[in-house]
Structure 1
């Protein structure tokens, strides 16, 4: 019985490591000072504004893992959507949106 309990505890520990949250998941502070939540949705991740003028609006969908993601980002003020990329390094998220991969703008958001 003791061996069975040890085996179950070891399996549970390994399962927790395998299903650790991706680094993109969490709350981030935008350059305007709003809070943006990034959470799993479908087979990727969605960015939803949680505070500010556009609170409740989904502004991005991305796929990827381990700190590197590709997808779409929407400028909520202009209501225009762009191809984008996100990289996460530690507690910093770099978001980049481009028009035709020629004209790009980037922002860096700190983790809350």
Structure 2
């Protein structure tokens, strides 16, 4: 009986490790000082939602990818414009970039909380 419980625990832990969150998942401090949460929203997509600040509760983007590089769309909540976006993780930093026509780009760095 005890052996079965131990084996069940080992298999449960192995399953958790195999499905560990991507590095982008978590809480991030934005350049403006607000907190954004990035969470899985199905498949290999990650939704970005502001948790604090003037636009708290608002979804501001969707990115897809894995490891250090993600691409998708990012919306500026102050003007409601959506841009082609990307995110690159380096350590505890996330460099977010939004572009119009891949020519005019703005970027900012977020910090993991």
TM-score w.r.t. structure 1 length?
0.90
SS at match of 2:15: helix
Q: CA deviation at 1:8?
A: 3.1
Runs of 5+ consecutive residues of structure 1 not aligned to the other structure: none
Q: Distance in 1 between matches of 2:7 and 2:75?
A: 48
Q: CA deviation at 1:5?
A: 4.7
Runs of 5+ consecutive residues of structure 2 not aligned to the other structure: none
Q: Deviation digits for residues 9-32 of structure 1, max 9, x if unmatched?
A: 432332121011111111101111
Count how many residue pairs are aligned between Structure 1 and Structure 2: 112
Runs of 4+ residues over 6 Å off in structure 1? none
Aligned counterpart, 1:103? 104
Q: CA deviation at 1:88?
A: 1.4
Aligned counterpart, 1:12? 12
- What's the C-alpha RMSD, in Å, of the aligned pairs? 1.4
Q: Distance in 2 between matches of 1:4 and 1:36?
A: 42
Q: Distance in 1 between matches of 2:69 and 2:26?
A: 15
SS at match of 1:54: coil
Aligned counterpart, 1:47? 48
Q: Distance in 1 between matches of 2:10 and 2:54?
A: 47
SS at match of 2:16: helix
Q: CA deviation at 1:89?
A: 1.8
